[in-house]
Amino acid sequence: MYIRISCSGWSYSDSVDKGGWTKIFYPDAKPKKLQYYSQYFNTAEMDATFYEKFYKYMTKGTFIAMSKATPDNFQFSVKVPEMVTHDKRLDVSKGAITFLEEFLDKIVIKNGKIFLKGDALALLNKIYY
């Protein structure tokens, strides 16, 4: 069995008193966060994709660059946007599937997984069971 250990992100550049990792994990503000992180971990959760305020600025190029910044064996776990799981509530008639297809087309990740936030799984149970 192969176990991967990660964090729910890698770019915590605030000061330590505000929850940042500089001088705790990152030696200073200079290193490229993802590249540095990937020297110590072989996977990361991409939580920012869930939040529209971050996701709307991401392009296919964003995901390509992240893949290039990490070793070949690095794996991303990408959270499905809240637009699909919470705003559209996984409802086909509200365009949830269309938005999900656009999301899947945008993300270019190697060795990756996508996942739904826990309450979306409860919603699926209500819809289908």
| CA distance linking residue 18 with residue 32, whole number of Å | 20
User: What's the average model confidence in pLDDT over 112-116?
Assistant: 71
Residues 6+ apart with CB under 8 A from 90: 84, 96, 120, 123, 124, 127
Contact 11, 19 (CB under 8 A): no
Residues 13-48: pLDDT tens digits? 787 888 888 888 988 888 899 999 999 999 998 888
Q: Is residue 105 situated within a structural domain?
A: yes
Q: Is residue 97 situated within a structural domain?
A: yes
Give burial (CB, 10 Å; 0-12/13-18/19+) of 29: exposed
Domain range for 67 is 16-128
Q: What is the pLDDT of residue 123?
A: 57
Count the alpha carbons within 13 Å of 90 in the hemisphere toward its beta carbon: 14
The whole-model pTM stands at 0.76
Residues 77-96: pLDDT tens digits? 888 888 888 777 777 788 88
Q: Is residue 117 situated within a structural domain?
A: yes
Q: Is residue 94 situated within a structural domain?
A: yes
Q: What is the pLDDT of residue 113?
A: 74
Q: Please list the alpha-helical segments (H only) found in 2-95.
A: 33-37, 52-55, 60-68, 82
Overall domain count for the chain: 1
User: What's the average model confidence in pLDDT over 95-110?
Assistant: 81
Q: Is residue 81 situated within a structural domain?
A: yes
Residues 38-78: pLDDT tens digits? 999 999 988 888 888 998 899 999 989 999 999 998 988 88
